[in-house]
């Protein structure tokens, strides 16, 4: 069920949020209306697509992954239940006092949101604050300068993945490979190590046989940190030509069995 939420001026000037596209920023706002009073919602991309973008062709899974990677949301699991926690929810939202309590299990490493008046902007169901949940008054105390606390910008490695993808010999599962790449936060130094190892692995018999069908998928290679594998030394990748049977022409006696003539020629 959609809820009434606050949006603050700092949202539009947040430099980290500007790293994602327009649709992803809109998704982030839409998720506030789908989240419960604790800032939690089920991690169901298809359901979010139908609720927030029913008429648009967007990749919700990639958009969620980008928001998770940048630290705006945290995707987590409790047993088989998959959920999303919007980061710093209690600092930026003031749920209505009659809003139902959350039934989504909290993230194991996150402390429960406090409900004591004065300690949090979240009001307890039986308590009334000075300002309604949907107030946008500039003196309400809820419009803080930034929608997220300042933090160092994450390492941007988008320019390196296309280079890796171009060099990797088995191009399958690009979407999964991009997600694995994002989690690694690849630096230029790490990228150089990857490519150096990849250049050796493509020459190994395991990768070269049967038209490369035993080359691991790129996401498997990345998730398994396969660039750290011990690679046997390749003696040479130059194959010698087999010994030709057509040799020894200069040593053959072509006059054998012939009759020598006086003029120096030969006849049968």
Q: Is the pTM of this model over 0.75?
A: no
User: Which CATH number does the domain housing residue 102 bear?
Assistant: 1.10.10.10
175 and 220 part of one domain: yes
Which residues are bridge partners to 77 per DSSP? Answer: 82
79 and 178 part of one domain: no
103 and 3 part of one domain: yes
28 and 109 part of one domain: yes
Q: Is residue 260 helix, strand or coil?
A: strand
> Which one, of 16, 27, 77, lies nearest residue 52 by Cα?
27
Domain boundary among 127, 151, 185: 127
Q: How many domains does the chain have?
A: 2
pLDDT band at 268 (very low <50, low <70, confident <90, very high): low
Where does residue 223 rank: exposed (0-12), middle (13-18), buried (19+ CB within 10 A)? middle
213 and 110 part of one domain: no
**Is residue 106 in a domain?**
yes
Better-scored residue on pLDDT, 190 or 130: 190
**Measured on CA atoms in the order 218, 221, 225, 230, is the torsion positive or negative?**
negative
22 and 108 part of one domain: yes
113 and 216 part of one domain: no
**Is residue 173 in a domain?**
yes
What pLDDT score does 12 carry?
Answer: 84
**Is residue 40 in a domain?**
yes
- pLDDT digit string (tens) for 106-151? 888 655 555 544 444 344 444 444 444 443 333 433 333 444 444 5
22 and 117 part of one domain: yes
172: left (phi over 0), alpha (psi -120 to 50) or beta: beta
116 and 193 part of one domain: no
**Is residue 168 in a domain?**
yes
- pLDDT digit string (tens) for 166-175? 999 999 999 9
Q: Give the range of the structural domain holding residue 209, as residue numbers without chain letter.
A: 161-228
Task: Report the distance separating Cα 266 and Cα 196, nearest Å.
Answer: 67
217 and 110 part of one domain: no
Q: Assess whether pLDDT exceeds 60 at residue 236.
A: no
Of the given ranges (121-125, 149-153, 156-160, 237-241), which has the lowest mean pLDDT? 121-125
49 and 118 part of one domain: yes
pLDDT above 90 covers what percent of the chain? 35
106 and 11 part of one domain: yes
């Amino acid at each position: 069920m959609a809820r009434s939420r606050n949006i603050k001026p700092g949202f539009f000037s947040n430099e980290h949020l500007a790293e994602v596209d327009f649709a992803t920023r809109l998704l982030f706002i839409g998720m506030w209306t789908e989240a419960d009073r604790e800032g939690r919602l089920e991690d169901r991309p298809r359901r979010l697509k139908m609720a927030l973008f029913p008429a648009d062709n967007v990749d919700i899974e990639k958009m969620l992954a980008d928001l998770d990677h940048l630290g705006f949301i945290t995707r987590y699991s409790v047993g088989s239940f998959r959920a999303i926690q919007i980061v710093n929810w209690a600092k930026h939202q003031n749920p209505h006092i009659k809003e139902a309590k959350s039934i989504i299990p909290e993230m194991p490493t996150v402390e429960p949101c406090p409900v004591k008046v004065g300690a949090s902007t979240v009001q307890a169901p039986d308590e009334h604050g000075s300002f309604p949940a949907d107030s946008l008054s500039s003196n309400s105390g809820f419009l803080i300068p930034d929608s997220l606390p300042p933090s160092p910008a994450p390492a941007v490695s988008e320019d390196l993945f296309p280079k890796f993808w171009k060099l990797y010999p088995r191009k399958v599962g690009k979407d999964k490979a991009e997600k694995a790449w994002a989690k690694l936060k690849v630096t230029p130094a790490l990228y150089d190590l990857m490519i150096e190892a990849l250049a050796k692995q493509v020459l190994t018999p395991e990768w070269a046989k049967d038209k490369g069908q035993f080359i691991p998928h790129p996401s498997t290679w990345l998730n398994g940190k396969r660039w750290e594998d011990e690679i046997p030394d390749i003696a040479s990748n130059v194959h010698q030509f087999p010994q030709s049977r057509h040799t020894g022409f200069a040593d053959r006696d072509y006059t054998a069995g012939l009759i020598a003539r006086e003029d120096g020629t030969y006849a049968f």
